[in-house]
């Protein structure tokens, strides 16, 4: 799979850094997963660190990647991920075995809501999920 990354202006790349709590009531979860997730995102020049945890669970997933489309390993998982910006959207492509998922992350204009559209690429999913996260103070 080839990924073409076009240079984008810095203003097109919002800073997603912060602690984000899933608002299940505003999300559209067709897969039934991620009912109570928290993401902690730290972003720097060309790198991103995401730690994800489920409420009531000790399971935590963490990854450290660049945002230039290069593959990185997902800690604690047999998976790889790559990130790149497409204008104001941060796109993640994650491969786990023979499953491929795409995540498109968009920050609201007031920087208080992070919307994540998830699409199952392989196998092709029937419906996409939309996760809505609220920024924690």
Distance separating alpha carbons of residues 109 and 118, to the nearest angstrom: 21
Cα–chain-centroid distance for residue 24? 16
- Topology of 15-135 in CATH? Lipocalin (2.40.128)
Higher pLDDT: 22 or 12? It is 22
Contacts of residue 41, Cβ cutoff 8 Å, sequence gap at least 6:
16, 17, 18, 20, 48, 49, 50
Q: Are 100 and 82 in contact (CB under 8 A)?
A: no
pLDDT at position 95 over 80: yes
Q: What is the pLDDT of residues 58-85, one digit of tens each?
A: 678 889 999 999 999 998 889 999 999 9
Q: Given pLDDT bands bounded at 50, 70 and 90, which one contains residue 54?
A: confident
DSSP 89-119: EEEEEEEETTEEEEEEEEE-TTSSEEEEEEE
Q: Given pLDDT bands bounded at 50, 70 and 90, which one contains residue 9?
A: very low
Which secondary-structure segment (H or E) carries 5? Answer: none
């Amino acid at each position: 799979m080839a990924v073409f990354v076009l240079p984008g202006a810095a203003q097109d790349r919002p800073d997603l850094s912060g602690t984000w709590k899933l608002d299940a009531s505003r999300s559209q979860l067709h897969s039934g997963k991620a009912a109570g997730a928290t993401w902690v995102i730290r972003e720097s020049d060309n790198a991103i660190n995401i730690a994800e945890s489920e409420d009531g669970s000790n399971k935590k997933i963490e990854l450290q990647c660049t945002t230039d489309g290069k593959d990185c390993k997902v800690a604690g998982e047999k998976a790889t991920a790559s990130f790149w910006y497409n204008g104001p959207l941060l796109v993640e492509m994650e491969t786990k075995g023979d499953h491929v998922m795409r995540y498109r992350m968009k920050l609201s204009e007031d920087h208080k809501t992070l919307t994540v559209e998830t699409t199952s690429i392989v196998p092709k999913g029937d419906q996409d999920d939309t996760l809505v996260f609220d920024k924690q103070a």
